[in-house]
Amino acid sequence: MSDFGLVKIMGEDSEVNMHVPVPPHREGGTSFPSPHEIPAGHHTKPSIDCAGEETRDLAYGLLRVLNDDDEAVGEWDPKLSADELRAALEHMVRIRAYDDRMMMMQRQGRLSFYMKCLGEEAVSVGAAMAMENRDIVVPSYRQQGLLFVRGRSMVDMISHCITNSNDNVKGRQMPVHYSWKEGNFVSISSPVGTQFPQAVGAAMAFAYRGEDSIACTWLGEGTSAQGDFHYGLNFASVYQAPCVLVVVNNQWAISTHRNLAHGGSSFAARGIPYNVASIRVDGQDLLAVYAAHKWATERARAGHGPTLLEMYTYRGDSHSSSDDPSIYRPGDGYENWPLGDPVDRLKAHLVKIGEWDDARHEALQAQCKDEIIAAYKEAETHGTLKDGPFPPVTTLFEDVYEDEPWHLLEQRGQVGI
Amino acid sequence: MAQMNIIQAVNSALHNMFERDETVVSFGEDAGFYGGVFRCTSGLQEKFGKHRSFDTPLAEGGIVGIAIGMGMNGLRPVAEIQFADYIFPGFDQITNELAKLRYRSGGEYSAPVTIRTPCGGGIKGGHYHSQSPEAYFTHTPGLKVVICSNPYDAKGLLISSIECNDPVIFFEPKRLYNGPFDGDHTAAMVKWDSHPKGEVPEEYYNIPLGKAEIVRAGKEVTILCYGTMVHVATAAAENSGIDAEVIDLRTLVPLDIDAIEDSVKKTGRCVIVHEAPRTSGFGAELMSQVQERCFWHLEAPIQRVTGWDTPYPHSLEWDYFPSQARITEAMRATMEE
């Protein structure tokens, strides 16, 4: 062996045999797979008390309700009223307006950081509409739609994001790490995946008290590689916890393509060996998202156990304001996603059934834009990112414990408060 | 009053709390039907039902994770980690999630979780059944850290831990489960029967967190210790003829700083003893506190007697485990000055 020189481990003619997956587009193909070739209305709807393993076809298939002609078809059509459909569309348009404005504020330096959910609006809107507000949600960081459907004030959301004196989490978290106990929306944490077993525990608490509320939680497909994903599935299965566990497969975990998150073909399929009912859902199809959540929620509420849902979607924009996806997924922009856009598709359906038109849509977009501009303005009356006021320094020492122990009181004294 | 060992005292605390508060639940690996490998949770499932005391999959990250979820949703979980050596797969859930939930949610959410776990050596357990990882948790703001040294305290402190709305890591020194241990492994096993702290009321009582106990009053030197070392240090004081004041800290966070300060200012000398390795051990924090508060009262440098900075050994356990002789030597060192 040479002394600290180049250590040669392979002969001249050796070939590397280790497999490392790369996103298909880097080898001349496209990163977009084709489960969408499964037509809308293809899948039958099992009874909510079926065994988890009986959902195998749904786990490997793709639940779709809206067909290519913008019609709602098949057993899974939730038969929402025109008013409910318009409410869903309005939530999604408002979220998009909020996200666009917030990213613009970030670019102008009036916000430190932001994460949009472009393309994933239906994932959270459909879920929230299928649940009751008393159901606890333990989200990841791209489910802002839950807050909109549950009616949180945009002023309060923005206040959190600019960490001003009106921030209910007292400036302790990065933007978009919302907490809203009044809306049963649990504080978001940055370590990924930890919320999965926590939601199972929250669901177990409902069951323990004999209540019929449920818990719902989300993580990304990249995070499904974490142990917490498997802890959550297994504990949910073992205790038949009344919960809905969601993998949002938006194809990308920052720059990591989903084919580095698992070696299989479906994330939903991971629920089958746990005997957890599992469904892969077209995440761009609001009706399919709603129908899947409605089924899973009713199943959990009736005591038939957990469901794993894979929301097959696309992260339409960057991971966050700190990320530039053009470096790692050139050509695979959102406009090329074969399953389309959730706003466009729901809008087209409403137009098709004669309950919506372009003029109303444009008016809605303009109205939402005005709302968010006004809300941002109002939020800044509680303090701006540049000048504050921010939560007072005393809050540094609060909430570490229920009551401050002596050592924190002493340290508080040392900073003069 | 009943005679109990620490296992029975922990069990009695759980029975009391299960009776008083229906939101208290207990779970862990082998902790349901079987009642735990040390039998601390025995009888709970039989008496209160398997929804209140249950077995879990072997996944500490999952155990702590569901404890947080239950805690944030109205229950008061007592999770058992079978050995403190196995707490690390749950470390992220404990330090990043459990400890910070109240803070990160602006006080909206919290989880009153108690994590019980047997710690420490003296049982020939080798490095995966002997560790004392308390310093990892004392270093994490948001956690309270408790360690008992006798049956009476075990019950009273565990009840306070369960009632505490902050998360508590509750260490049970397993060498003390069945009897006090003065460090002499060649002596016959002593049981708690004849020890005054083995007298434990069957009914509910609590011992407040954050309060140390002077287990031996003395004038010449203060010994700060906790867990198994309380008994080794007390024996060292008795057998050396040095009039040491032995303080059982009982709660490491928040620390009973008044008890420490009063004693060291009185004696002017301080020896700190723990089983865990020396570097960045909790003794380093104690030394800093004493130095900051009592410097002008000190007659000599503070001494530390700790485990060595090695993994916990198996065959050489008694060369690692802080002995009466080492404690006596440290006391003498403070008195030479």
**What is the mean predicted confidence (pLDDT) over A379-402?**
94
**B145 DSSP β-pair partners:** B169, B253
pLDDT at A5: 58
> A401–B166: do the CB atoms touch at under 8 Å?
yes
The phi, psi pair for A330, rounded to 5°, reads -60, 140
Higher-scoring residue by pLDDT: B225, A394: B225
Cβ contacts (< 8 Å) between A179 and chain B: which residues? 104-106, 108-109
Higher-scoring residue by pLDDT: A23, B263: B263
Q: H/E element holding B221?
A: strand B221-225
> A201–B77: do the CB atoms touch at under 8 Å?
yes
pLDDT at A32: 67
**What is the mean predicted confidence (pLDDT) over A268-284?**
97
Q: What percent of chain B has pLDDT over 70?
A: 100
pLDDT at A25: 77
Q: H/E element holding A105?
A: helix A82-107
Q: Which of A167, A177, A202 sits opposite B69 (nearest CB)?
A: A202
Distance, in angstroms, between A149 CA and closest chain B CA? 20
Structural contact between residues B255 and A407, judged by C-beta atoms closer than 8 angstroms: yes
Cβ-proximal residues to A226 (8 Å cutoff; 6+ apart), any chain: A192, A193, A219
**Whole-angstrom distance, CA of residue A140 vs CA of residue A163:** 19
> A234–B62: do the CB atoms touch at under 8 Å?
yes
Cβ contacts (< 8 Å) between B25 and chain A: which residues? 208
The phi, psi pair for B70, rounded to 5°, reads -65, -40
**Whole-angstrom distance, CA of residue B319 vs CA of residue B337:** 27
* Residue B166's pLDDT band (cuts 50, 70, 90): very high
**What is the mean predicted confidence (pLDDT) over A161-184?**
96
Cβ contacts (< 8 Å) between B104 and chain A: which residues? 169, 172-173, 177, 179, 187, 189
Could you report the per-residue pLDDT of A351-362, keeping only the tens digit for each?
999 999 999 999
**B79 DSSP β-pair partners:** B27, B115
Question: Helices A286-301 and A82-107 sit at what angle, rounded to 10 degrees?
Answer: 110
* Residue A34's pLDDT band (cuts 50, 70, 90): low
Could you report the per-residue pLDDT of A47-79, keeping only the tens digit for each?
999 999 999 999 999 999 999 999 999 999 999
> A400–B68: do the CB atoms touch at under 8 Å?
no
Length of chain B: 337
Q: Using DSSP bridges, classify how beta strands B144-147 and B251-253 pair: parallel, antiparallel or unpaired.
A: antiparallel
Q: With a cut of 0.95, is the ipTM above it?
A: no
pTM for the complete prediction?
0.92
Distance, in angstroms, between A40 CA and closest chain B CA? 37
> B69–A203: do the CB atoms touch at under 8 Å?
yes
**Whole-angstrom distance, CA of residue B74 vs CA of residue B65:** 15
Tally the C-alpha atoms within 13 A of residue B300's C-alpha that lie toward its C-beta. 17
> B108–A405: do the CB atoms touch at under 8 Å?
no
pLDDT at A128: 98
pLDDT at A1: 43
B 235-254 → A contacts, CB under 8 A: 253-254
Higher-scoring residue by pLDDT: A413, A131: A131
**Whole-angstrom distance, CA of residue A50 vs CA of residue A298:** 12
- Nearest Cα neighbor of A322 from A181, A152, A111 is A111
pLDDT at A2: 45
- Nearest Cα neighbor of A172 from A183, A156, A186, A188 is A188
For chain B, the farthest-separated pair of C-alpha atoms sits apart, in whole angstroms, at 61
Judged against a pLDDT cut of 50, whether residue A211 lies above it is answered with yes
* Residue A259's pLDDT band (cuts 50, 70, 90): confident
Q: What is the mean pLDDT of chain B?
A: 97
**Whole-angstrom distance, CA of residue B45 vs CA of residue B27:** 10
* Nearest chain B residue to A232, by CA: B62
SS3 (DSSP) at A399? coil
Task: Please report, in angstroms and rounded to a whole number, the separation of the first and last CA atoms in chain A.
Answer: 63
Q: Which of A138, A177, A406 sits opposite B257 (nearest CB)?
A: A406
* Residue A22's pLDDT band (cuts 50, 70, 90): confident
Active site residues of B: 129
**What is the mean predicted confidence (pLDDT) over B53-74?**
96
**Whole-angstrom distance, CA of residue A167 vs CA of residue A189:** 16
DSSP class per residue in A282-306: ETT-HHHHHHHHHHHHHHHHTT---
**What is the mean predicted confidence (pLDDT) over B16-37?**
96
User: Does residue B28 belong to the interface with chain A, where contact is any CB pair within 8 Å?
Assistant: no
Judged against a pLDDT cut of 50, whether residue B70 lies above it is answered with yes
Task: Please report, in angstroms and rounded to a whole number, the separation of the first and last CA atoms in chain B.
Answer: 47
Could you report the per-residue pLDDT of A122-147, keeping only the tens digit for each?
999 999 999 999 999 999 999 999 99
Signed CA dihedral, A156, A160, A164, A165: sign only: positive
pLDDT at A416: 85
* Residue B75's pLDDT band (cuts 50, 70, 90): very high
